[in-house]
Amino acid sequence: MCVMNQSDLLSLKSMIRTTTYHFNLLSDEERLTAFLEAIEEKANGTVYDIGAGCGILSILAAPYSNFIYSIEIDPKVAKLAESNFRLFNNIILINNDAKDVIFPKKADLIICEMLDTALIDEEQVPVLNSILKYLKEDGEVIPHKIINGAEVITMDRDHICYEDISGNKQPYYKIMSDFVIYSEINFKKRIDEDLKVDINFKISHKGTISGIKLTTFTLLTEDIICGPTPMLNPPLLIPIEKINVNKGDCIKIELSYKMGGGLNSIQTRIERISE
């Protein structure tokens, strides 16, 4: 079996059977190329692809791996993946919830694609926690880590929304503070799904604060950083209590949410530290 490279991606995408959603994932070339690069570096031996969708990441890993367990819970999507795997004899499709699968072999690599900013609306978090016991001691996880940062903003919406980073920059907002890293998550360690943190910001512009922007950077390996991209962790804009500020003011925002708990789990409280 020949090794796949980046020049093969265009022809591969035209051959894959997909849903509309998975077609959009394939169309995000920055995301797909970054995953290919990470897989080329880390795939070997036994691989689990958790939440495989239509199977593109399993296919990318096939030339580098002895065997791949490709797990997809949705039966309609699993049928598409099965048809996409017809030319590969080292991929087995399992149509089940990965939390319920008893794997006969431990994994050298777990691929568990994370798509939602700060993992807030990411159902894969409890799944990954449940299967880490099957990862070999020297095994790897793609992605390796995420880094979450925040800025306070003034925004033109009164509800939680994602930034459209495909080109038109909607919705409108203006950054009003420095950028603060508030959490780092290593996927080889069990994730505490409940996050509560105090974030201190220094105000950079006079005006009105009305929101907080969360940005997630994905380290697919220790050296390969991706995102945000249109289909991988687009920045999340969260409205907060409005307050007027001056340049140089310091404020604190208490931020809490449940990873995998959805956007409704987000809570914020703002406090002025100084003026």
Element (H, E) at 93: strand 91-94
- Per-residue confidence (pLDDT) for residue 6, from 0 to 100: 54
Cα distances (Å, whole numbers) of residue 111 to 5, 34, 96, 234 = 18, 13, 16, 20
| Cβ(65)–Cβ(40) below 8 Å | no
> Is the pLDDT score of 225 beyond 60?
yes
> Is the pLDDT score of 2 beyond 50?
no
Q: Where are the beta strands (DSSP E) in 156-245?
A: 161-162, 173-175, 180-186, 194-202, 207-219, 225-226, 236-245
Mean pLDDT value across residues 233-255: 96
Q: At the topology level of CATH, where does 145-274 sit? A: Hnrnp arginine n-methyltransferase1 (2.70.160)
| Cβ(165)–Cβ(230) below 8 Å | yes
What are the helix (H) ranges across the chain?
Answer: 9-15, 20-27, 29-42, 56-61, 75-84, 124-131
Instruction: State pLDDT tens for residues 134-187.
Output: 999 999 999 999 999 999 999 999 999 999 876 666 788 999 999 999 999 999
> Is the pLDDT score of 67 beyond 80?
yes
177: which 2 tokens?
Answer: 């503070």
Which superfamily does CATH assign the domain made up of 6-111 to? Vaccinia Virus protein VP39 (3.40.50.150)
DSSP 227-238: --BTTB---EEE
For the entire predicted model, the pTM comes to: 0.91
How far apart are alpha carbons 110 and 15 in whole angstroms? 25
Q: How far is C-alpha 255 from the geometric centre of its chain's CA atoms?
A: 19
145-274 and 6-111 share a CATH fold: no
- Locate the domains of the chain by residue range: 6-111, 145-274
The phi, psi pair for 259, rounded to 5°, reads: -65, 125
Cα R_g (the chain), whole angstroms: 20
Nearest to 72 by CA among 31, 32, 24, 21: 21
